[in-house]
């Protein structure tokens, strides 16, 4: 009798231990485009990101004649200080924080599984290398910068364009993105939005699939542990 009850219960135990963690992890997406309207999945230092992400085409709202070219509603515009029509901070469209504030914004960890990484970038030309006050976006592995991009050198502009890194040699590594504003002077701010990894065909890989890679490792362990009980 005990054996029958055990046999009946075992599938339920398997479902709870096997399926539940998978669902929880597979539902996970990364705030890669700031469309949460906040800095979920990112950790800031300093003051540059205190009023980020910014909402809408604020450069156009302040007659800059350099449209932001952002994706969705929200993006990182480090000169801007406008968090949308519903903000309770007394901000108005066109408000700015200027170039003064500095800081960094670091993403959660993720696996490199794509061939390339692409994103929107604009703002000042202050490269990570050879500039005492960099404004840039870096890809870091073990706290070491392995890729970096900054705004355009010729015709510096708020308007973001899509940039791409070849990351094929980094596959399997665990990485983080870091947005850097270490410049309080002229054009001392980066703009950034909508980052993706892409496959060999250039197709963006959904972030929930990227973040599920770790889960597969955990899944294999759970399954091996379950088999021991049989």
Q: Which residues contribute to the site for Ca ion (CB under 5 A)? A: 33-34, 71-72, 74-75, 99, 181, 188-189, 193
Of 18 and 125, nearer to Ca ion (C-beta) is 125
Of 75 and 110, nearer to Ca ion (C-beta) is 75
The least distance separating Ca ion from the CB of residue 21, rounded to whole angstroms, comes to: 30
The least distance separating Ca ion from the CB of residue 48, rounded to whole angstroms, comes to: 5
The least distance separating Ca ion from the CB of residue 79, rounded to whole angstroms, comes to: 8
The least distance separating Ca ion from the CB of residue 19, rounded to whole angstroms, comes to: 33
Of 51 and 74, nearer to Ca ion (C-beta) is 74
**96: CB partners within 8 A, 6+ apart:** 58, 62, 79, 80, 81
Of 57 and 99, nearer to Ca ion (C-beta) is 99
Of 115 and 181, nearer to Ca ion (C-beta) is 181
Tokens of 198: 């892409």
Tell me the CA distances in angstroms from 48 to 63, 179, 199, 211, 217, one per residue in order. Answer: 22, 10, 33, 28, 37
Of 56 and 170, nearer to Ca ion (C-beta) is 56
The least distance separating Ca ion from the CB of residue 18, rounded to whole angstroms, comes to: 36
The answer to whether 61 touches 81, Cβ cutoff 8 Å, is: no
The least distance separating Ca ion from the CB of residue 34, rounded to whole angstroms, comes to: 5
Of 64 and 189, nearer to Ca ion (C-beta) is 189
Nearest to 205 by CA among 41, 65, 84, 32: 32
The least distance separating Ca ion from the CB of residue 188, rounded to whole angstroms, comes to: 4
Angstrom distance (rounded) from CA 197 to CA 205: 6
């Amino acid at each position: 009798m005990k054996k029958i009850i055990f046999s009946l219960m075992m599938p339920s135990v398997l479902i709870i231990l096997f399926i539940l963690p998978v669902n929880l992890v597979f539902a996970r997406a990364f705030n890669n485009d700031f469309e949460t309207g906040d800095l979920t999945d990112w950790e800031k230092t300093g003051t540059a990101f205190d009023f980020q992400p910014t909402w809408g085409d604020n450069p156009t709202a302040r007659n800059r004649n350099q449209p932001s070219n952002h994706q969705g509603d929200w993006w990182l515009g480090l000169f801007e200080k406008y968090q949308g029509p519903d903000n309770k901070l007394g901000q108005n469209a066109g408000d700015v924080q200027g170039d003064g504030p500095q800081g960094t914004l670091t993403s959660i960890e993720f696996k490199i599984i794509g061939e390339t990484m692409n994103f929107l970038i604009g703002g000042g030309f202050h490269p990570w290398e050879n500039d005492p006050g960099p404004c840039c976006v870096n890809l870091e592995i073990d706290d070491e910068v392995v890729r970096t991009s900054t705004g355009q050198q010729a015709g510096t502009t708020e308007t973001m364009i899509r940039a791409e890194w070849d990351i094929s040699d980094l596959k399997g590594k665990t990485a983080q993105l870091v947005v850097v504003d270490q410049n309080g002077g002229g054009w001392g701010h980066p703009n950034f939005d909508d980052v993706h990894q892409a496959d060999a065909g250039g197709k963006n890989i959904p972030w929930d699939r990227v973040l599920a890679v770790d889960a597969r490792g955990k899944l294999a362990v759970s399954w091996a542990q379950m088999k021991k009980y049989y």
